[in-house]
Structure 1
Amino acid sequence: MEFYTFSKDKGIKISNFNSNFIMSRIIQMQKEVQIGCIYLEEDGIIGYHQAVVPQLLLILNGEGYVRNEEEYFKVIPGDAVFWKKDEWHETKSEIGLTAIVIESEELNPALFMSHKL
């Protein structure tokens, strides 16, 4: 399990075409990819299982915990959690959270995002 950040302070200011916004790059894909939005309600859980393909979980709001085979880690908005194929993991939240999940054989978040310290 690896931790990255896509928080606003890691983004770049875009001004092309009279634009005025900050963008945090996340991933670029050439192969098949599946993207979904996960809504964990209060006391919600994504049960302990192996990743079928590499997975990237982007926490948008709320908070919760992810775990690997050994321990739990707190996640908050702006956190990105990466699991390699076959890696065991679980996600849970006491108060609820919303996240985007990206799944693809080609995932390499280190190309665009900084590791979380």
Structure 2
Amino acid sequence: MKIYSFAKESGKSITAFNSNFIMSRIVQTEQAAHIGCMHLPENGVIGYHQAVVPQLLLIIEGEGYVRGEAAEYVPVQAWDAVFWEKDEWHETRTDSGLTAIVIESETLNPEAFMKMQQGRPL
């Protein structure tokens, strides 16, 4: 499991075409990708299972806990991006609720666009 950030501070200012915004790049795929939005209620759980393909979970609201194959949970919050490799066991939980975008594809490489968070236990 790896945790990245797609917060505003990790983005780049875009001014082309008279634009004025920050773009935090996340990922580019070379093969088909499945993209969905998960809405976990209070005490919600995405149960412990193996990733069928590489999976990137982008927390956009709320907070919770994730784990990989180790039994230790790591806290996550909005603007964290959690990456699991194919076949990696993982789980996501929340006490207060959480909304996340999930991207699944055989060719995910988040390191190409996002920096891994330093000082975070994995």
Q: TM-score, normalised by structure 1?
A: 0.98
Answering whether residue 16 of structure 2 is matched by residue 16 of structure 1, we say yes
Question: Which residue identity lines up with residue 17 of structure 1 in the other structure?
Answer: F
Cα displacement string for residues 76-114 of structure 1 (whole angstroms, at most 9, x for unaligned residues): 011000000000000010000000000000000000000
Cα displacement (A) at 1:29: 1.3
Distance 1:29 1:83 in 2: 16
- Superposed, which structure 2 residues align to 1:56-67 within 5 Å? 56-67=56-67
Identity %: 63
> For residue 96 of structure 1, what is the aligned residue in structure 2?
97
Q: List 4+ stretches of structure 1 deviating above 3 A.
A: none
The aligned counterpart of 2:30 is 30
In the alignment of these two chains, the number of paired residues is 117
- The aligned counterpart of 1:43 is 43
For 1:105 and 1:68, the matched residues in 2 are separated by: 19
Q: Which runs of 5+ in 2 are unaligned?
A: none
1:53 paired residue number: 53
Q: CA deviation at 1:62?
A: 0.2
Structure ranking higher in strand proportion? 1
Name the counterpart of 2:3. Answer: 3
Paired residue secondary structure (2:42) = coil
Aligned to 2:75: 74
RMSD (Å), alpha carbons: 0.5
Letter paired with 2:46: I
Give the Å deviation of 1:69. Answer: 1.9
